[in-house]
């Protein structure tokens, strides 16, 4: 499943970047990227998300010019990049290890790309001052990278990518080296910087919460193919296949066979014998295997008589973990002993005992029936 959007008119409405039928192989046999068609819109924050080896970093490196496409074409602002070397692509780049020159001051690190781009000495100071203000590091110009914290170094790396006013900034796992709290803080900062300057960002990560936090759109890669390309909310709430449902957020998976499809609902018989009503999102016909996807937060515990849950089942409590804002309840139900429910704080979830049988329920529209392939 790929996104092309190839009929969007010309000029300013054209995407800034277009991948057309792009393939990449390193050994002539295995395709790391398979027939990629992807548009990057002007001013958007697009994240390429996926596990290791899924093709996301290779895609970024082909756009940067550090790798060449085996087949197909990549255009930037309507111009093919095939014969354009990396330093002439007008692209800013931020790496995980920052790649700052340790022997240079922050000011000298920022001046370096300006000199490479032939920017006049008289203009350099104003551009450096602007870039430092963007990342809120004015006053740190004379320090060396070793005198800065990890978060400050990351901001300098971003300032260096922005300083020559490129058309697009590419980032490869730029927050991977930071601790959790700082990483989360930097995610919000990067989101705000992007909103303030309106530049196009393409960001690579394997961290789905990072992608959900920052992006306008997310392309989920697996096995060299974009599995789904959507805004964060759609991706989480409406995964189109079993891989996306598993990869984005926590997910309960039940496997069965389609017994009936009528209107906007289907019935799936689980391997353990239960019949489940679900929303047929992406399934074969009757008799075909299907994977049911249920988010932990859509499950109701002990639904009352006034509750409108379509599916109600008995579950045995196996584990209770207090998480602060919610309790994570692991139960055995419907043939799955790793079925997770998230109970918001104050809903009394901690009063259960391990081994206790409880009733759980959900609405059939929250249970997505997906292709098992």
- Rounded Cα distance between 244 and 54, Å, is 13
**283, 266 Cβ separation under 8 angstroms:** yes
Residues 274-293 have a mean pLDDT of 93
Q: What is the pLDDT of residue 175?
A: 87
Return the structure tokens found at 126.
């104003």
Would strands 45-49 and 31-40 be described as parallel, antiparallel, or unpaired? Answer: unpaired
Task: Return the sign of the alpha-carbon dihedral for residues 252, 254, 258, 261.
Answer: negative
Q: What is the pLDDT of residue 3?
A: 45
Residue 23 has pLDDT above 90, yes or no: yes
Domains of the chain are: 11-242 (3.40.50.300), 250-371 (2.40.50.100)
Residue 5 has pLDDT above 60, yes or no: no
- Split at pLDDT 50, 70, 90, the class of 8 is very low
Task: Return the sign of the alpha-carbon dihedral for residues 275, 281, 287, 288.
Answer: negative
- Rounded Cα distance between 58 and 37, Å, is 14
Residue 10 has pLDDT above 50, yes or no: no
Q: What is the pLDDT of residue 165?
A: 87
- Split at pLDDT 50, 70, 90, the class of 85 is very high
Exposed e or buried b for every residue in 107-139, given b needs 16+ CB within 10 A? Answer: bebbbbbbeeeebeeeebeebbeebbebbebee
> Residue 153 CA to chain centroid, in angstroms?
24
Lay out the sheet containing 217-222: strands in order across.
91-94, 168-172, 200-205, 45-49, 217-222, 225-230
Of residues 191 and 345, which shows the higher confidence score? 191
* CA diameter of the chain: 76
Give per-residue pLDDT as tens, 111-129.
Answer: 998 988 888 888 999 999 9
Q: What is the pLDDT of residue 345?
A: 80
Give per-residue pLDDT as tens, 346-370.
Answer: 765 457 889 999 999 999 999 999 9
- Split at pLDDT 50, 70, 90, the class of 372 is confident
> What rounded mean pLDDT belongs to the chain?
90
Tell me the three state secondary structure of residue 255. strand
Tell me the three state secondary structure of residue 227. strand
- Rounded Cα distance between 289 and 253, Å, is 13
- Rounded Cα distance between 18 and 218, Å, is 16
**95, 174 Cβ separation under 8 angstroms:** yes
Contacts of 283 (CB under 8 A, 6+ apart): 258, 261, 266, 290, 369, 370, 371
Q: What is the pLDDT of residue 9?
A: 38
Residue 308 has pLDDT above 90, yes or no: no
**258, 285 Cβ separation under 8 angstroms:** yes
Residue 239 has pLDDT above 70, yes or no: yes
Lay out the sheet containing 79-80: strands in order across.
31-40, 17-25, 71-76, 79-80
* φ, ψ dihedrals at 132, nearest 5°: -65, -35
Give per-residue pLDDT as tens, 214-231.
Answer: 999 999 999 999 999 999
Query: What does pTM read for this prediction?
Result: 0.88
- Split at pLDDT 50, 70, 90, the class of 13 is confident
Give per-residue pLDDT as tens, 170-191.
Answer: 999 988 878 888 889 889 988 9
Residue 6 has pLDDT above 50, yes or no: no
Return the structure tokens found at 286.
């009757």
Of 132-136, 198-202, 228-232, 315-319, the poorest mean pLDDT is in 132-136
């Amino acid at each position: 499943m790929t996104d092309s959007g190839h009929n969007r008119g010309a000029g300013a409405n054209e995407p800034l970047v277009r991948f057309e039928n792009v393939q990449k192989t390193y050994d002539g046999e295995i395709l790391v990227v398979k027939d990629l068609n992807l548009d990057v819109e002007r001013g958007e924050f697009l994240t390429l998300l996926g596990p290791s080896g899924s093709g996301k970093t290779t895609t970024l490196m082909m756009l940067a010019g550090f790798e060449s496409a085996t087949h197909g074409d990549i255009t930037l602002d309507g111009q093919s990049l095939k014969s354009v070397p990396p330093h002439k692509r007008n692209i800013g780049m931020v790496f995980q290890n920052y790649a700052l020159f340790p022997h240079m001051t922050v000011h000298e690190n920022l001046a370096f790309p300006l000199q490479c781009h032939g920017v006049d000495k008289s203009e350099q100071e104003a551009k450096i001052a602007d870039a430092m203000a963007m990342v809120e590091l004015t006053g740190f110009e004379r320090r060396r990278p070793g005198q800065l914290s990890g978060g400050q170094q990351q901001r300098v790396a971003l300032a260096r990518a922005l300083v020559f006013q490129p058309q697009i900034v590419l980032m490869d796992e730029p927050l991977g080296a930071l601790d959790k709290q700082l990483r989360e803080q930097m995610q919000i900062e990067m989101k705000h910087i992007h909103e303030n300057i309106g530049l196009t960002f393409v960001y690579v990560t394997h961290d789905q919460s990072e992608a959900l936090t920052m992006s306008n759109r997310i392309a989920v890669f697996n096995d060299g193919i974009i599995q789904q390309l959507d805004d964060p909310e759609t991706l989480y709430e409406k995964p189109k296949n079993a891989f996306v449902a598993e990869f984005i957020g926590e997910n309960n998976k039940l496997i069965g066979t389609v017994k009936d499809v009528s209107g906007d609902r289907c019935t799936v018989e689980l391997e353990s014998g239960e019949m489940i009503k679900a929303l047929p999102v992406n399934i074969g016909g009757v008799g075909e295997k299907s994977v049911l996807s249920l988010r932990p937060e859509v499950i109701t515990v002990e639904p009352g008589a006034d509750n409108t849950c379509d599916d109600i089942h008995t579950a045995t409590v196996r584990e209770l973990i207090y998480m602060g804002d919610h309790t994570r309840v692991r139960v055995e139900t419907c043939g799955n002993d790793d079925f997770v429910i998230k109970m918001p704080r104050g809903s009394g979830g901690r009063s259960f005992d391990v081994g206790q049988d409880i009733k759980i329920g959900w609405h059939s529209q929250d249970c997505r029936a997906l292709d098992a392939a």
